[in-house]
Structure 1
Amino acid sequence: MPSAVIVEYDSAWPLRARHLLDGVRSAFAALPGADGFGYEHIGSTAVPGLGAKPIVDLQVRMPDLPPHARLTEVLASTPFVPAHGSRPDSPGVHRDSRRPGDQADDAAYEKRLFHSPAEGAILHVRRVDSPFARWVVDFRDWLRCHPGQARRYEQIKRRLAEEHAGEPDYDDYTRAKTAFFDEIQPQVRCWAAGS
């Protein structure tokens, strides 16, 4: 996995996300309760005008997480395969990090991660009660409604990408963004509670 490279926004990203989510939705129809699953385009590629790594992040929320092997089997008809991370401690592979102030039990942060290198996409499968699943949606929507903050976030990402250029993966780049998330989290949560 190469180091992080931020590119200009591509208006094809939402179309690609919709196409991939349609395929995942069809595959997940084989799972119990699939009608109640939530399918979302998340991350920077879901914010119009925001420069990003050209990797589309997708999220599916479901009441309970099936075993990894079962999801792998169900996703066999899609381009998604299990993601293992670049390092043993790669962030967000098997579980998400607890955000400041979260009250949920540890099990709510468990996740299943898949990717499609050919499609340039990552699929995050989380529980519906995952505070992190809620956070990524709130953050996406907040950036959509606050273009000045979206521009600032892009500048921070570009600076961090330069700082971590040439590294074999973008794990440290990902961790470095946490300072920005911690700074704006109270604003995002206040905004989300009022919207």
Structure 2
Amino acid sequence: MLQPYDPDWPIRAARLLTAVQQVLAPLEVAEAFDHIGSTSVPGLAAKAYLDLQVLVRELPEPSVVDDALAAAGFVPAVGARPDSPGVHRDIPRGSQVVPAGVWRKRLFVHDIDGPGAAILHVRLSASPWGRYTVWFRDWLRAHPQARDSYADFKATAAAEHAGDADFDDYTRAKTAFFDRVQEEFEAWGRRT
């Protein structure tokens, strides 16, 4: 499930983000494009799926954004189960209080079973998750001890869920680590 860090991951992420930026440019809604998740943190083992993020002022109509992203090889994700986390909305977390609708999102996949596997999170710019993912990435990059602690936590969770039919319970298990460090990385992110 987890693979050692691959220095090719940020190169692939940059290529995919450039393609996404090009196909979304005519919609004039995107404000930020980021490589997030474990594959964006040098030295951190990860599932070999690149996590990418686009922040938008408003979520475009599904047919419009689906057609645009299809040109870059991304298709809408449906989730492995009806309650798959993070497919249509993020689980509210953190200190910022926002309207419930801010947690809505769209999730897309690219070559999900192939060597170019990537997951694209399309989030509202007002979503705290959009900031948290970048702050968490940057916090792990700046704090090798936290990165290593997260690596150990992920390895344990991956071993516990190695026989699962999908990644949903592994994803849910990782929230225990975020619960433990949310306040710290959020405070660090606000300062920097």
> Residue 21 of structure 1: which of 17, 23, 43 is its match?
17
How many residues align? The count is 189
Determine the structure 1 residue equivalent to 2:159: 162
Q: Distance in 1 between matches of 2:27 and 2:191?
A: 34
Identify which range, 65-74 or 79-88, moves more after superposition: 65-74
> Are the equivalent residues in 1 in contact too, given 2:85–2:168 (CA < 8 A)?
yes
Which of 65, 76, 93 is the matching residue for 1:71?
65
- Paired with 2:70 and 2:158, the residues of 1 have a C-alpha distance of 33
Aligned pair partner of 2:142 in 137, 140, 145: 145
One-letter amino acid matched to 1:104: V
The aligned amino acid for 1:31 is L
Question: Structure 2: how far apart are the matches of 1:89 and 1:102?
Answer: 24
Q: Given the two structures, how large is their TM-score scaled by the length of structure 2? A: 0.96
CA drift of 1:33 comes to: 4.2
Range with greater deviation from structure 2 (97-106 or 128-137) = 97-106
Deviation at residue 89 of structure 1 after TM alignment: 0.1
What is the one-letter code of the residue matched to 1:29?
A: A
Q: Render the CA deviation track for 1:103-122: whole Å, top value 9, x for unaligned.
A: 01111100011001132100
Q: CA deviation at 1:186?
A: 1.1
Maintained 8 Å contact 2:94/2:128:
no
**Deviation of 1:166 (Å):** 1.0
1:75-133: CA deviation from partner (whole Å, max 9, x where unpaired)? 12111001000000000000001004330111110001100113210000011111111
| Residue 51 of structure 2 corresponds to residue 57 of structure 1 | yes
Mean Cα displacement is larger for which, 50-59 or 70-79?
Answer: 70-79
Is 1:94 aligned to residue 88 of structure 2?
yes
Q: Aligned letter for 2:167?
A: Y
Q: d(CA) in 1 for partners of 2:150 and 2:39? A: 13
Which SS does the other structure have where 2:141 is aligned? Answer: helix
Query: Is 1:191 aligned to 2:158, yes or no?
Result: no
For the 8 Å contact 2:39–2:48, the answer to whether it is kept is yes
Unaligned runs of 5+ in 2: none
Give the match for residue 10 of structure 1. Answer: 6
What amino acid maps onto 2:33 in structure 1? Y
> 1:127 corresponds to which residue?
124
Question: What secondary structure, in the 3-state scheme, does the structure 1 residue paired with 2:109 have?
Answer: strand
Q: Could you tell me how far apart the structure 2 residues matched to 1:162 and 1:137 are?
A: 26
Q: Distance in 1 between matches of 2:155 and 2:170?
A: 10
In the alignment, does 2:140 pair up with 1:107?
no
Q: Give the unaligned 5+ runs of structure 1.
A: none
Aligned mates of 2:175, 2:125 — CA distance in 1? 23
Matched, 1:40 2:34: yes
Query: What root-mean-square deviation, in Å, do the aligned CA atoms of Structure 1 and Structure 2 show?
Result: 1.0
Q: Which structure's relative contact order is higher, taking Cα pairs within 8 Å and 6+ residues apart?
A: 1
TM-score w.r.t. the length of structure 1 is 0.94
The equivalent residue for 1:30 is 26
Cα distance in 1 for residues equivalent to 2:187 and 2:66 = 37
SS in 1 for 2:26: coil
